[in-house]
Amino acid sequence: MTGEPAVLPAATRRPQQQTPPRRRGSVRRSSHIGVRWSDATADSSSELLVHGAVQDAVTDADGIGQVADAATVDCGIGPDRTVTFITADPDEPRLRTLVGHGARNGWRAAARGIVGADSLLGTVLDDVPIAVMLSSYGALRQGSLDVTSVRPLMLHMRDLCAGWAHDATPMRRLDAGDEMALPGVVLAPVDQQTDPLAAEARPPMVAGEVRRARRLDVTPGKRVRIDATFRDTWRDPGGREGILHEYVLTAALDGYGVVASIHAEPRVLPYRECSLAAASSQQLVGRHIEEVADAVRAAAGTSTCTHLDDLLRSLVAVPALVTSFSVGGYGRAPRPGADD
C-alpha cells in the first residue's frame, strides 16, 4: 500500500438530480457496465470482472411502456488486459471469438464486427475499453496502486483530448515534475425515480467498483428528438458513490435523418479544460445520423473529449431504435443537395 494520493476537486459540478421520465411515443435504451477487481490486491496482477446490462423500453402514445429487448454480458479481463472469458444472456456464441483479444486497442472494431455497433450487445461492448481504463481509478484512490507507476501511461495521453492537451492541467503538472493529483468526484444524488422501466436492473455497486451508465431517449415525429446522457461513477470504501464524468446531450434530426441541432452540456468533469470540448458536437450539424459515428472518430483530438465522443458515437443506435419498434421514423428520400 502506498497511501492515498493528492486529489483535485472536480472542475464542473452539476450532476443531473434524477433520471428524466420516459416520453410518450418514445423508445429508451438504457445500459450500464461495471468493473471491479477480482480481489483486494487491486493492482496490475489482478483480474478484472466486468458486468454489463442493457434494455430497450418502448412507450406508446398513451404512456404505457414495455421492455422490448434486453441483454447482459459478463467477462473477465486478465492481468495482460486480454479477455479470459465472456458470456451473454441471451447467449451469443460468436462472442467467444473475443477470448484472448485485448480489451483496449482494437476492441471496439472487433466487437462491431461481431454484433454490430447499434445492437444491444454492441452498446455494452463499446464501453469495455473505458471500463478497463477507469478501473485503475479506485485502486489509485485507495493507495493500492501507486500514481508513479502509471505516470508513463499518463504521459502517453498527451494531446489525446481537451483535458489532456499539452497545455492543460494534467500535462502541465506532469511536465513540471509535480505529483500527479487525481481528479476528485462529485457525490451522486439519490435518484428518486421510481419508474421500473426508467433503466435496466442495476445491482448495487461494491466498494472500489467503477461504473458507466447510459441513457438514450429517441422520440420520433416531424423531427426526431434525442436526449442522451452518460455518467461514470466510483464507489469508495465507505460506500459513497461519486461521479467522475457526466454529460447530457440533446439533438434533433430533420425529416431525412440529418442533424438539425445538437447541444452537449457538461455536468461533471475533472479539469477546467475538459468543458471546452462541448463545442465539438457542433461539427455534426448537417451530418446524416448514420455518418455521425465515423465523423466523431475522424475528428478526435484536443478539441474533443474522449468521453463526450463515446456519447456522440452512441447515436449510431438511433436509426435502429426509430425503425425497430414502430414508434415512427424519418424519411429515406435524398437530402436536399445530395447527389442522385
**Predicted structure pTM score:** 0.92
Number of domains comprising the chain: 1
Q: Decide: 228 and 217 in contact? Cβ < 8 Å.
A: yes
Show the cell assigned to 183.
481528479
pLDDT reading at 333 higher than 60: no
Asked if the model's pLDDT at residue 238 lies above 60, the reply is yes
Q: Is position 19 within any domain?
A: no
20 in any annotated domain: no
Q: Judge whether 18 lies within some domain.
A: no
Contact (Cβ atoms closer than 8 angstroms) between residue 141 and residue 3: no
Model pLDDT, residue 331: 45
In 243-265, which positions are buried (b, 16+ CB within 10 angstroms) versus exposed (e)?
Answer: bbbbbbbbbbbbebbbbeebebb
Instruction: Convert the pLDDT of each residue in 80-110 to its tens digit.
Output: 999 999 999 999 999 999 999 999 889 999 9
Asked if pLDDT for residue 145 goes beyond 90, the answer is no
Predicted local confidence at residue 4, as pLDDT: 64
Specify if 105 maps to a domain. Answer: yes
* CA dist list (Å): 70 to 88, 206, 232, 317: 11, 23, 21, 14
Residue 294 gets the label, from left (phi > 0), alpha (psi -120 to 50) or beta, of alpha
- DSSP letters spanning 82-94: BEEEEEEES--GG
Average pLDDT over residues 70-80: 96
Assess if residue 8 is contained within a domain: no
Q: What is the pLDDT of residues 289-299, one digit of tens each?
A: 999 999 999 99
- Domain of residue 154 covers 25-324
pLDDT value of position 324: 79
With respect to residue 260, please indicate whether it lies within any of the assigned structural domains.
Answer: yes
